[in-house]
């Protein structure tokens, strides 16, 4: 309408103020997003905004509260990743510190840096491929090709862009981002090369972009402009289906804590490249000729296709590997992981290898992780413990291979918790907790003898005695509800030390005598019986004449954790929670 009016371009540019004014009028009444309000500590206002959004829903209150809780949890996780709290942002330049911290996370973390590289590459490629030059100067190009109505011809290209953009929205999740780019960019490259060859065959001056007069001898080339129109239409369709859409999915590349600044830098790359293309297109058409200009854009597409094939592939594989391993890690049981990995070969390749991160994570959830263990060692140890400790072990029929394996695993866990306890204050706590869980599921402490179901008790192995003795502190814990029987110790072995009360029981450690570890176990069991059983009367005659307050009583939670060395004539030294038996 304004193209034929003198100075009509001013009206065309000025019409852009109408949608801007409409948007401004709408934004004035637009509330802040609930997420931003929660980040600013304005939870009440966030609730009001959500209530307006879901006011037509019958369960408006429940839905609003649930969504608000989800937003609060996401914001809390983001703040935890950032290492600071937005509610503590009372300092004058806290926002600058937040931006600096986010920038460090973006550039110094390898995964974030790769995501930024890919996002900026795709946004730059989206503009440097020359599409917006076609949109900006399509009427000029078609006037060079002597189309009778260049503006209407350019509208056909714009309509193609609109249709294939909608098509991309419906297929992008089904086909995949990377695959769409790998399929569409070669078509763009080929279309640009054909356009370049057709332009080269036309006699178009470099410096004059007015309609070129045709001679009668050139009537055979009247189909060439239609060929250019067809190629540009195919190029536009491929662009709208791939590069016009995929780069704007950039938020999917970044984790939550760096998404804002990463997307901002990628978008800045887009507009910077757009400025370069808009500034250089007409000079390139003038000095290089249209043919070489389109050939240059084809080279950019070709290089970008290789970049998508290499960089995006590696990043997607790394990200998909992390996602798969994260899903496997969140599965509740190990059998679920086994079923998950058996679904297909690719899942098995991500979850089964020792290098997979899920094994170190799952090990660390249950046990204290030794600092010098590799992922392969942790995987083997985790699986062995999971299988062995899941068994219902009984020493009723003595010690067999399964009992020996169970004792070996328990011994290693005890030693591991003991060593880690000396490295840090809470070291060994997880492992010790798992030991207690395993002991609750067995009768190991309640029947501290081997072969109690046989006609005659068998001699316990040194491993059995050592593990029992090292768990004395656990056995003395009233929460474990250990019930030691009188038949679990030999009273003769216990009283054989009566005449040697002044002798150090563990003198064997000093190479004075061999250490009788089995006798020590009898003594330990004797004291378990007397300390944990209120009705025990084995040595009743020793204190029958004493006042009730002076008589020995069972150990309870309120008693002192350390027993004196001389306790009513019986020589003993034990602690409720000894670091070691010795």
Residue 337: count of CB within 10 angstroms of its CB: 21
Q: How many CB atoms lie within 10 A of CB 169?
A: 10
Three-class HEC string of 411-439 = HHHHHHHHHHHCCCCCCCHHHHHHHHHHH
Of the chain, the end-to-end C-alpha distance in Å amounts to 100
22-40 pLDDT tens trace: 988 888 888 888 888 888 8
Choose among 72, 241, 237, 51: nearest CA to 157.
237
3-state secondary structure of 33: coil
Long-range Cβ pairs for the range 313-318 (8 Å, 24+): 313/178, 314/114, 315/114, 315/115, 315/118, 315/253, 316/178, 318/111, 318/114
Question: Over the stretch 75-100, which tens digit does the pLDDT of each residue have?
Answer: 877 666 555 444 444 455 666 777 78
Token pair in block for residue 382: 């985790």
* Residue with the two structure tokens 């294939």: 164
Mean pLDDT of the 206-215 span: 44
**pLDDT tens for each residue of 491-520:** 877 777 654 444 544 444 445 456 778 888
Domains of the chain: 110-207+223-320 (1.20.1250.20), 391-581 (no CATH)
Backbone angles phi, psi at 501, to 5 degrees: -60, -25
Mean pLDDT over 173-199 rounds to 88
Q: Which residue matches tokens 């000093």? A: 510
Q: Which stretch of DSSP H or E encloses residue 571?
A: strand 570-571
Predicted pLDDT of residue 85 = 45
The crossing angle, in degrees rounded to 10, of helices 110-128 and 259-287 is 30
Task: Give the separation between CA 116 and CA 254, rounded to whole angstroms.
Answer: 8
- Taking the mean position of all CA atoms in its chain, how far away is CA 288? 50
pTM of the predicted protein model: 0.54
- pLDDT greater than 90 at residue 190: yes
Q: What is the pLDDT of residues 276-331, one digit of tens each?
A: 988 888 888 888 888 888 899 999 999 988 888 877 666 555 666 677 777 777 77
């Amino acid at each position: 309408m304004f193209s034929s009016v003198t100075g009509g371009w001013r009206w065309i540019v000025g019409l852009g103020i109408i949608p801007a004014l409409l948007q401004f009028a709408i934004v004035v009444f637009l509330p802040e997003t609930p997420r931003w309000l929660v980040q600013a500590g304005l939870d009440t206002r966030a609730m009001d905004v959500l209530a307006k959004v879901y006011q037509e829903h019958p369960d408006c209150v429940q839905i609003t509260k649930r969504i608000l809780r989800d937003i609060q949890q996401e914001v809390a996780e983001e703040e935890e990743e950032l290492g600071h709290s937005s509610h503590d942002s009372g300092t004058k330049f806290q926002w600058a510190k937040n931006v600096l911290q986010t920038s460090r996370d973006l550039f110094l973390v390898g995964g974030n840096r790769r995501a930024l590289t890919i996002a900026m590459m795709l946004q730059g490629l989206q503009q440097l491929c020359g599409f917006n030059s076609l949109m900006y100067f399509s009427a000029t190009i078609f006037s060079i090709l002597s189309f009778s109505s260049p503006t209407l011809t350019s509208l056909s290209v714009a309509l193609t862009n609109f249709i294939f953009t909608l098509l991309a929205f419906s297929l992008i999740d089904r086909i995949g981002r990377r695959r769409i780019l790998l399929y569409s960019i070669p078509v763009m490259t080929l279309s640009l090369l054909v356009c370049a060859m057709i332009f080269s065959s036309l006699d178009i001056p470099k410096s004059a972009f007015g309609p070129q007069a045709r001679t009668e001898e050139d009537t055979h080339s009247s189909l060439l402009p239609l060929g250019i129109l067809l190629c540009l239409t195919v190029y536009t369709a491929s662009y709208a289906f791939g590069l016009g859409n995929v780069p704007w999915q950039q938020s999917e590349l970044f984790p939550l804590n760096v998404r804002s600044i990463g997307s901002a830098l990628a978008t800045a790359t887009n507009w910077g490249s757009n400025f370069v293309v808009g500034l250089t297109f007409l000079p390139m058409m003038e000095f290089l000729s249209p043919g070489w200009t389109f050939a240059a854009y084809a080279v950019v597409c070709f290089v970008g296709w290789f970049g998508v094939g290499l960089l995006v592939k590696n990043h997607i594989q790394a990200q998909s590997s992390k996602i798969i391993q994260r899903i496997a890690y969140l599965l509740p049981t190990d059998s679920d992981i086994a079923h998950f990995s058996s679904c297909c070969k690719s899942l098995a390749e991500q979850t089964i290898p020792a290098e997979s991160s899920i094994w170190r994570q799952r090990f660390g959830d249950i046990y204290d992780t030794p600092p010098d263990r590799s992922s392969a060692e942790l995987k083997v140890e985790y699986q062995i413990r999971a299988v062995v400790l899941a068994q219902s072990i009984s020493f009723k029929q003595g010690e067999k291979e399964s009992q020996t394996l169970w004792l070996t695993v328990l011994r290693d866990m005890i030693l591991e918790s003991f060593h880690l306890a000396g490295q840090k204050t809470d070291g060994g706590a997880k492992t010790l907790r798992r030991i207690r869980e395993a002991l609750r599921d067995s009768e190991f402490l309640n029947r501290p003898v081997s072969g109690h179901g046989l006609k005659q008790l068998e001699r316990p192995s040194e491993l059995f005695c050592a593990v029992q003795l090292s768990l004395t502190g656990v056995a003395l814990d009233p929460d474990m509800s250990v019930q030691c029987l009188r038949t679990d110790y030999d009273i003769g072995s216990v009283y054989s030390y009566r005449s040697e009360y002044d002798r150090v029981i563990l003198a064997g450690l000093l190479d004075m005598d061999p250490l009788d570890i089995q006798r020590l176990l009898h003594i330990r069991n004797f004291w378990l019986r007397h300390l944990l059983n209120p009705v025990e009367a084995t040595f009743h005659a020793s204190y029958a004449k004493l006042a009730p307050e002076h008589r020995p009583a069972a150990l309870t939670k309120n008693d002192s954790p350390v027993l004196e060395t001389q306790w009513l004539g019986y020589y003993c030294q034990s602690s409720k929670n000894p670091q070691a038996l010795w």
